[in-house]
Structure 1
Amino acid sequence: MFNEKSKATDFDFTPNLQKAYAEVFKLRVQSGRELLSKESIKNPFRVYVEDYADMVELINSENEAIYNKWSSREDERLELIEGLDEKSPYNRFLRAEIKLHWALIKIRFGHEVKAGYNVIQAYKLLEENQKLFPNFLPSLKSLGCLHVLIGSVPDKQRWIPKLLGLRGNIQLGMNELRLVAKDKVWGTEAKFCTTFIQAYVLKFDAKQNAEMLQFADSQSDNLNINMVATAISLKDNRTEQAVELLKKTPKDAAYLNFPIFELYKAETQLFKGNYPQAVTSYQNYLRIFKGQTFLKDTYYKLFVCNWLMGDDKKAKLYLSKINEGGSTVAESDKAAQKFYENFQKSKTLPNKTLMKLRLLFDGGYFEEAQQELITLTEKNFSTPKDQAEFNYRAGRIYQKLNQFDKAANYFERSVALTGTQDWSFAPNSALQLGYLQQQKGQKNKAKAYFEQAIAYKNHEYKTSVDNKARAALTEMGY
């Protein structure tokens, strides 16, 4: 099957296959698979869309048995496509896409090194394709993502991609994604990638938020876009926006069931202070989801809810469960594990006032948080760690209320109190101080703060802090 003589007509992306791809991207996986069944099993676009569908199902379910059963499909599909017309730009493009699908799958199943090899191979295929077919737009979708991600690698680790021959540039990558965003077939996915990168790697401000909402409204039947918009809203302190997006979530049976929506519902209730309702949704997630991701974070949040409701016995039961299961791939799971380990060392629970301040801030309830702040000073807290956290939380709240000088004073104090400790408040404060100086046009001062943020080691938010600081430095031309 793999050695048949091939022709340019091998790569026929029929309207039916384009529809199947669109269905899978919307997370209507079964409908997509039904459309695929009408196409030849040798059509490389059928192979590609089937691979996409497999990726969606595996990442959603985290079913180890199915992963082991399906893992041989990667090489089979790559071999089939490689044996087709080499003169078509789709040959290398589709192989690179499949490599990237399996990179994401491998990361989810804890095989980071294997995933890294996939990314390197995909990058090489896409770069080669771009040289051979410079006007071929689809390659820029994934190449753009890779250019941004490689470009945001911190200075001290830049030798790694350089050694591997990987070239990164944030501005180039974003421009490439914007070009593909105009494409009729690949444009929606390119816009999706741009939104994701803007929120999780670069800076996400009111302009990007408005663009995201417009994008979600224009694709109201796309569960994938609704899901990422909800996740970003929660991450960006926009609980009420997340609530509205959850009301618009497409819900008919054609869509794959995603347990993560239970977590999103739980987060909105937690931030609003509706702890019993939050507990119900967190428990639903644990009941429905059979994988490992966000388990530690969910147990941590169940601890928080019960603790804030005054049920210390139940709270400590959930606290102990953090160490009993789940992975530490996601930053929130890493943070939950670190919280558990710190508790084991100190045997002291966090400060309830600080926890409530944090939840008000995380939910985007800045005015309410300010009302709490008015009654507090650093002296209300007895340990240096609590004092450092208080100053960081106060800084973030005043920053969101556009009281920038006041915010900067609190951030500086948090950095001073942290000293050489591995608490995350100082690197996060340094990052925000960098943004405040960047806003003022003080490039040298901003640079110093961003470099200071990157210099902190061993805190649970290192990946995201470093990525954002690196992206800001690149944006300023450093």
Structure 2
Amino acid sequence: MTKYFLPLSILLLISFKASANFDVNANCIQAYKNILSFKLSAARQQIDREKATHPQNGYALLLDNYYDYFWMLSTESKSDYDRLKGNKADRLDKLEDEDKASPYYNFALAQVQLQWALLNSRFGDNTTAGFAINRAYRLLNDNQKKFPAFLPDDIPLGVVTVALGALPDGTLKSVLNVFGIKGNISNGINLLQSVTARLPQSAYAMYYDEAVFYTTYLQADVVNDPQAYTKMQQYTARMDNGSLLKSYIQGYIALRTGHSTEAIKYFDKRPEGNEYQPYPYLDYLTGLAKMNILDNTANNYFNKFLQTNKGVNFIKDTYLHLAWDALLDGNIKRYEAFAQLAKTKGYIYNEKDKRALTEIADPQYNPNLLRARLWFDGGLYEKALALLKDKNADNYSTVHDKAEYYYRLGRVYDALQRDSNALVTYQQAINTGKGTSYYFAPMSALKMGNLYEQRKDSNHAISYYNMAIGFKNHQQENSIEQKAKEGLKRLKQ
């Protein structure tokens, strides 16, 4: 009996040790939930306690990386990025020594790669991001073959698949093409929507909030799903009201989908207290939402963001909006001062800041068109329409303003589902703006392609998508071209 018992006991010990290398215990689960709620101080204590109590637990290494990732999301600090990015290699080295038979092995390695790739790209380190995405993609595909029932894999795999499909031509896409990696937006978003729906009833329900975080963002910002706001409301209904991530998701998606009034309510209701990591970005977003409805307290939030923010992103865009506010007040001296700050302060790692720098170099905004733009962004479509219809293109003296007038009017008609009117005014924007460096003509061609695609008129849709691609050397060229190519891809399927 003894000769059989001893090898069996050794086998059990080996098995226990291997599985314990990724021990997702109650303390780890709570630390993970606190990270996603932006309760980073409590999470740090729990992670440190886990590492002291169970030093061989590889899951604590993954939690360390989640902590750094959410810390960076909250600070946007370049100095923090430079200080923390060295942690990546050390964690990967340690994780590679963990239990290779666990589904968490490749998952953990891939998450470290992906999270740092997302941070790399935020600070313009696109080549490093490209290599990291390549490694994450391969690890996740391998894991999916080995452990097809391991649902957490589908979250980063969906993100990578969408991101790769949405990349405009450029350095990062070129790096990934070398590896033969191509994404697909539709496949990626379908994977994310599926895993988001399945997680609550699964053994991996703890990952639900993370799935919602990525799914809602990509639905609104990349896919431009017309149901993104409604889906967000459904997804976030089961999230904890004490989570700052929930408030961010609700407010951000509301803002991005023309619901600025609702966005303000979400941000106003966000949980507060010393247990939450400071998140100045939410003040910036609140400022945007308030400015979209011409609320005169918007400046308070922009100024608070500038005072408390230690990061490098959204600074130029904040000064641009402060300049716009001065312009709408008729204070040209203050406008010029903020315009100069938009040019000289901040950085251009972020797309919003790049566009801010471009826009502040454009001719001074016509206040009437600016109000219409802001009201449109805020979802006040009828107010924007009334403002625009009060004048016509002949009331504007420059080609820039005439083309923008038609474009803004087309966008409002489009949002109000007055498709025939939208198509006419978009075409007028194309006729007026072609040959300039402004985005009004190519964006109008893209929007016409969208409308014809919705009407199942493939011939016209293809024609206008190709027209959008054909415009060169203009603002937002990469973004517009990528979206037009995605439209052509959909029509070929």
Structure 1 residue 259: deviation in Å?
A: 0.5
Q: Does the CA contact (< 8 Å) of 2:445 and 2:467 recur in 1?
A: yes
| 1:430 pairs with 2:451 | no
Q: Does the CA contact (< 8 Å) of 2:131 and 2:175 recur in 1?
A: no
Q: Secondary structure at the match of 1:138?
A: helix
After superposing the two structures, state which structure 1 stretch, 226-235 or 278-287, moved more.
Answer: 226-235
After superposing the two structures, state which structure 1 stretch, 283-292 or 33-42, moved more.
Answer: 33-42
Q: 1:352 to 1:259 in 2, by over 3 A?
A: same
Question: 1:345 — aligned with what?
Answer: none
Question: 2:292 — aligned with what?
Answer: 271
Q: Matches of residues 85-124 of structure 1 in structure 2 within 5 Å?
A: 85-124=99-138
Query: Separation in 2 of the partners of 1:411 and 1:425?
Result: 9
Q: 1:188 to 1:278 in 2, by over 3 A?
A: closer
Q: Does the CA contact (< 8 Å) of 2:228 and 2:257 recur in 1?
A: no
Question: 1:12 — aligned with what?
Answer: 23
| 1:380 pairs with 2:395 | yes
Question: 2:309 — aligned with what?
Answer: 289
Query: Separation in 2 of the partners of 1:211 and 1:172?
Result: 18
Structure 1 residue 233: deviation in Å?
A: 1.7
The one-letter code sitting in structure 2 at the alignment partner of 1:138 is P
Q: Matches of residues 243-392 of structure 1 in structure 2 within 5 Å?
A: 243-275=264-296, 277-342=297-362, 348-392=363-407
- Residue deviations 1:285-308 (CA, integer Å, cap 9, x gap): 111112210000011111111111
- Residue deviations 1:279-331 (CA, integer Å, cap 9, x gap): 22211111111221000001111111111112111110110111212122322
After superposing the two structures, state which structure 1 stretch, 429-438 or 464-473, moved more.
Answer: 464-473
Question: 1:188 — aligned with what?
Answer: 209
Question: 2:435 — aligned with what?
Answer: 420
Q: Matches of residues 68-83 of structure 1 in structure 2 within 5 Å?
A: 68-83=82-97
Query: Separation in 1 of the partners of 2:423 and 2:22?
Result: 57
Question: 1:228 — aligned with what?
Answer: 249
Aligned-pair identity in percent equals 29
Q: Does the CA contact (< 8 Å) of 2:165 and 2:182 recur in 1?
A: yes
- Residue deviations 1:192-233 (CA, integer Å, cap 9, x gap): 21111111111221x331120222332222222321331222
Q: Does the CA contact (< 8 Å) of 1:201 and 1:464 recur in 2?
A: no
Structure 1 residue 87: deviation in Å?
A: 1.9
The one-letter code sitting in structure 2 at the alignment partner of 1:398 is Y
The one-letter code sitting in structure 2 at the alignment partner of 1:28 is K
Q: How many residues align?
A: 468
- Residue deviations 1:363-403 (CA, integer Å, cap 9, x gap): 11111112112221111111111111000000011112221
Q: 1:468 to 1:410 in 2, by over 3 A?
A: same
Query: Separation in 2 of the partners of 1:98 and 1:411?
Result: 44
Structure 1 residue 159: deviation in Å?
A: 7.3
Query: Separation in 2 of the partners of 1:154 and 1:115?
Result: 15
After superposing the two structures, state which structure 1 stretch, 180-189 or 457-466, moved more.
Answer: 457-466
The match for 1:405 among 420, 425, 430 is 420
Q: Does the CA contact (< 8 Å) of 2:61 and 2:91 recur in 1?
A: yes
Query: Separation in 2 of the partners of 1:190 and 1:464?
Result: 25
Q: 1:140 to 1:403 in 2, by over 3 A?
A: same
Query: Separation in 2 of the partners of 1:44 and 1:455?
Result: 51
User: What TM-score comes out, normalization by structure 1 length?
Assistant: 0.92
Query: Separation in 1 of the partners of 2:247 and 2:217?
Result: 12
Larger relative contact order (C-alpha < 8 A, sep ≥ 6)?
Answer: 1
The one-letter code sitting in structure 1 at the alignment partner of 2:245 is N
RMSD: 2.3
Q: Does the CA contact (< 8 Å) of 1:153 and 1:470 recur in 2?
A: no
After superposing the two structures, state which structure 1 stretch, 463-472 or 176-185, moved more.
Answer: 463-472
The one-letter code sitting in structure 2 at the alignment partner of 1:259 is P
- Residue deviations 1:27-64 (CA, integer Å, cap 9, x gap): 11112222222312431111111111111112322333
Question: 1:393 — aligned with what?
Answer: 408
After superposing the two structures, state which structure 1 stretch, 291-300 or 101-110, moved more.
Answer: 101-110
Structure 1 residue 155: deviation in Å?
A: 8.6
Q: Does the CA contact (< 8 Å) of 1:201 and 1:467 recur in 2?
A: no
Question: 1:37 — aligned with what?
Answer: 48
Structure 1 residue 176: deviation in Å?
A: 2.2
Q: Secondary structure at the match of 1:7?
A: helix
Question: 1:440 — aligned with what?
Answer: 455
Q: Does the CA contact (< 8 Å) of 1:331 and 1:460 recur in 2?
A: no
Query: Separation in 1 of the partners of 2:351 and 2:316?
Result: 10
Structure 1 residue 13: deviation in Å?
A: 1.0
Structure 1 residue 140: deviation in Å?
A: 1.7
Query: Separation in 2 of the partners of 1:422 and 1:243?
Result: 34
Q: Secondary structure at the match of 2:49?
A: coil
Q: Does the CA contact (< 8 Å) of 2:130 and 2:175 recur in 1?
A: no
Question: 1:168 — aligned with what?
Answer: 183
Q: Secondary structure at the match of 1:135?
A: coil
Structure 1 residue 162: deviation in Å?
A: 4.2
Higher-Rg structure is 2
User: What TM-score comes out, normalization by structure 2 length?
Assistant: 0.89
- Residue deviations 1:310-357 (CA, integer Å, cap 9, x gap): 211111011011121212232221111112333xxxxx4221211111
Query: Separation in 2 of the partners of 1:420 and 1:143?
Result: 41
Query: Separation in 2 of the partners of 1:445 and 1:155?
Result: 25
Query: Separation in 2 of the partners of 1:251 and 1:154?
Result: 38
Q: Secondary structure at the match of 2:427?
A: helix
Q: Does the CA contact (< 8 Å) of 1:243 and 1:268 recur in 2?
A: yes
After superposing the two structures, state which structure 1 stretch, 124-133 or 303-312, moved more.
Answer: 124-133
Q: Does the CA contact (< 8 Å) of 2:169 and 2:482 recur in 1?
A: no
Q: Does the CA contact (< 8 Å) of 1:17 and 1:35 recur in 2?
A: yes
The one-letter code sitting in structure 2 at the alignment partner of 1:221 is G
Q: Secondary structure at the match of 2:156?
A: helix
Q: Does the CA contact (< 8 Å) of 2:28 and 2:47 recur in 1?
A: yes
The match for 1:67 among 81, 91, 95 is 81
